[in-house]
Amino acid sequence: MRLRDIGEFAFIDRIARMSGEDPRVVLGIGDDAALLDLGGPELLVVTTDAMLEGRHFRLDWLEPAEVGWRAASGALSDVAAMGAAPTALFCTVGLPASWPVARADALLRGIADSAEAVGTTLAGGDVIASERALIDIMVLGQVPRGQQLTRDGAVAGQVLAVTGALGAPAGAVAALAELGTEALSEAPEVRGRFARPAPRVRAGRAIAASGLACVAIDISDGLVQDARHIAERSGVRAVIEAPRVPVAPGCVELAARIGADALVWALSGGEDFELLLALDEANVAALADLEPVAEIGLRVVGRIEDGEGAVVLDAQAREIDLPRGGWDHFA
Task: Indicate if the alpha-carbon torsion angle 49, 51, 57, 58 is positive or negative.
Answer: positive
Could you tell me the smallest distance in angstroms from the CB atom of residue 215 to Mg ion?
13
Strand 159-163 to 298-305 pairing: antiparallel
Q: Is the Cβ of residue 31 or residue 64 nearer to Mg ion in the bound state?
A: 31
**Which of 170, 210, 200 minimizes the C-alpha distance to 187?**
170
Length of the chain equals 331
Q: Is the Cβ of residue 218 or residue 274 nearer to Mg ion in the bound state?
A: 218
The SS3 call for residue 276 is: strand
What Å distances lie between residue 208 and 46, 110, 147, 211, 231, CA to CA? 17, 28, 5, 6, 20
Among positions 218, 241, 271, 274, the unique one binding Mg ion when judged by CB under 5 A: 218
Could you tell me the smallest distance in angstroms from the CB atom of residue 273 to Mg ion?
9
Piece of the chain touching Mg ion by CB under 5 A; list 34-42, 49-57, 194-202, 212-220:
212-220
Could you tell me the smallest distance in angstroms from the CB atom of residue 230 to Mg ion?
11
**Window 18 to 47, contacts with Mg ion (CB under 5 A):** 32
How many whole angstroms separate alpha carbon 155 and alpha carbon 268? 23
- Main-chain phi, psi angles of 114, to 5 degrees: -65, -40
Give me the residues paired with residue 247 across strands. 166
- Kindly determine how many residues on this chain lie close enough to bind Mg ion according to the rule CB under 5 A: 4
Could you tell me the smallest distance in angstroms from the CB atom of residue 81 to Mg ion?
5
Piece of the chain touching Mg ion by CB under 5 A; list 137-145, 173-181, 220-228, 269-277:
220-228
Q: Is the Cβ of residue 42 or residue 226 nearer to Mg ion in the bound state?
A: 226
Among positions 87, 220, 225, 234, the unique one binding Mg ion when judged by CB under 5 A: 220
Could you tell me the smallest distance in angstroms from the CB atom of residue 7 to Mg ion?
17
**Window 302 to 321, contacts with Mg ion (CB under 5 A):** none
Q: Is the Cβ of residue 232 or residue 253 nearer to Mg ion in the bound state?
A: 232
- List the x/- string, 50-89, binding to Mg ion by CB under 5 A: ----------------------------x-----------
Secondary-structure breakdown of the chain: helix, strand, coil percentages, each rounded to the nearest 5: 40, 25, 35
Determine contact, residues 157/123, Cβ cutoff 8 Å.
Answer: no
The SS3 call for residue 113 is: helix
How many whole angstroms separate alpha carbon 78 and alpha carbon 33? 6
- List the x/- string, 93-132, binding to Mg ion by CB under 5 A: ----------------------------------------
Cβ-closest residue to Mg ion? 32
Residues that bind Mg ion in the complex, under the rule CB under 5 A = 32, 78, 218, 220
